[in-house]
Amino acid sequence: MQHVIDGVAKFQSEVFPKKENTFKKLANGQNPEVLFITCSDSRIDPNMLTQTDPGELFICRNAGNVVPPHSNQTGGMTASIEFAVAALGVTEIVVCGHTDCGAMKGAMAPENLNDLPHVKEWLGHCRAATSVVKERHGEVTHERLPEVTQENVLLQLQHLRTHPAVAAKLATGKVHLHGWVYNIETGEILCFDEREKGFVPMSDAYAEEFAAKRKIKL
């Protein structure tokens, strides 16, 4: 804990002064472009991964980067998604899974989670991902973890589409969805490509295609 306390002191004395103008602007409001949904895993740092500053990402984190399907039962994720899309006006939503995900391991073997009843129930939102992999291969073994991780990202994107605020903006082209998987060991990002119907490495072509669709000059 001491290094955390020391880090606060360093932030206040060294980091904050260099970005004081940025924080002064942020003190009066936020205007993020991206809703970034990822896992609570301590190894994931969305701002480091994307090299973004405070105020650029609206970040939602939970075990397994889960987006519960919309229902009349209010939850933290549902409220945060609604706020980000309908109130803040984000235009891009990223669901980012990652390698060696403990939540995915739990989803693959829910019988091992009997002592963690809330975790077990939460990971029920990932069940369809494991079912897809099982249907393809007849069983879900540890070797299938990367495939389950990717299917889970696609599943959560499906769940996003059930949220009224998201559905409305998708219908009018005001929001775009992205599925990513981050490799902790290599730093590589795989992105779901609609044309390829699979995950491919993020590349200059990906950036160029994005810019072309949004009419952005690189």
The enclosing domain of 181 has a CATH number of 3.40.1050.10
Per annotation, catalytic residue among 98, 125, 159, 163? 98
Kindly tell me if the per-residue pLDDT of 206 is higher than 80: no
Check if the beta carbon of residue 130 is closer than 8 Å to that of residue 68: no
Distances 208 to 102, 136, 199 between C-alpha atoms, Å: 34, 34, 17
The three-state secondary structure class of 59 is strand
Q: Has 43 been annotated as catalytic?
A: yes
Same domain, 20 and 114: no
pLDDT in tens, 65-91: 999 999 988 899 999 999 999 999 999
Check if the beta carbon of residue 83 is closer than 8 Å to that of residue 74: no
Domains of the chain: total = 2
Per annotation, catalytic residue among 60, 96, 101, 126? 101
Tokens 């219908």 sit on residue: 171
Q: Has 101 been annotated as catalytic?
A: yes
Q: Has 53 been annotated as catalytic?
A: no
pTM over 0.85: yes
Q: Has 41 been annotated as catalytic?
A: yes
Kindly tell me if the per-residue pLDDT of 32 is higher than 80: yes
Residue type, 100: D
Cα angle value 207/209/214 (rounded, 5°): 95
Which structure tokens are listed for 135? 């249907």
Same domain, 135 and 150: yes
The domain in which residue 134 lies consists of 32-214
